[in-house]
């Protein structure tokens, strides 16, 4: 309940609202062209989340539902809609999160700790996410729609009990 309404509204507008607006204006154009493919970038936080990220997690969970709804509504139009849920990926946002969630520790130390939480033992790269997006946007994934694809180094494959 520490999330203020302004932060909540901004996070949902940026993460969820922007995809809605793309769909609202983009799908009619895609229909005119005979179809296409949309890839939504969700997050593992839409499936399971850490503390202190209520707005972010809610917005990413909403993207998972929006992906499925759009896929169902537009399959007959030849439009495929899928989402990707990255785990910890080395980006400026991850670096800001590392600084926020572990103040006083070097960012690199926290990022290594984030990576160690993934069964593959490291954070991912933007290139690894891009490869999955490229596949989903290509004709090679012509029978894929309404799915969410994890690129999370195995993070959601297990449970936290050791």
Sign (positive/negative) of CA torsion 153, 155, 159, 161?
positive
User: Inter-axis angle of helices 54-74 and 5-12, to 10 degrees?
Assistant: 30
Catalytic one of 11, 56, 86, 88? 56
Using 50, 70 and 90 to split pLDDT, how confident is the model at 97?
confident
pLDDT tens digits for 3-44? Answer: 999 999 999 999 999 999 999 999 999 999 999 999 999 999
Contact 42, 70 (CB under 8 A): no
Global pTM value: 0.92
Lookup: tokens for 155: 């993070």
Residue ranges and CATH numbers for the domains of the chain are 5-87+124-153 (3.40.50.720)
How far apart CA 127 and CA 112 sit, in angstroms, is 19
- For the cut 70, the answer to whether the pLDDT of residue 161 exceeds it is no
C-alpha–C-alpha distance, residues 35 and 86, integer Å = 26
Q: What is the pLDDT of residues 44-81, one digit of tens each?
A: 999 998 888 999 999 999 999 999 999 999 999 999 99
Identify whether 56 is a catalytic site residue: yes
């Amino acid at each position: 309940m520490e999330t203020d309404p302004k932060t909540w509204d901004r996070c949902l507008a940026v993460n969820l609202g922007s995809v809605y607006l793309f769909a609202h204006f983009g799908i009619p154009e895609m229909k005119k062209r005979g179809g296409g493919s949309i890839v939504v970038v969700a997050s593992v936080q839409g499936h399971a989340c850490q503390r202190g990220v209520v707005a972010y997690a809610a917005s990413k969970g909403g993207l998972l539902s929006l992906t499925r709804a759009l896929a169902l509504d537009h399959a007959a139009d030849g439009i495929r809609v899928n989402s990707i849920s990255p785990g910890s990926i080395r980006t400026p946002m991850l670096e800001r999160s590392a600084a926020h969630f572990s103040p006083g520790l070097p960012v690199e130390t926290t990022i290594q700790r984030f990576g160690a939480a993934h069964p593959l033992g490291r954070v991912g790269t933007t290139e690894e996410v891009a490869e999955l997006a490229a596949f989903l946007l290509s004709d090679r994934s012509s029978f894929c729609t309404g799915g969410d694809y994890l690129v999370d180094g195995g993070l959601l494959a297990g449970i936290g009990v050791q």
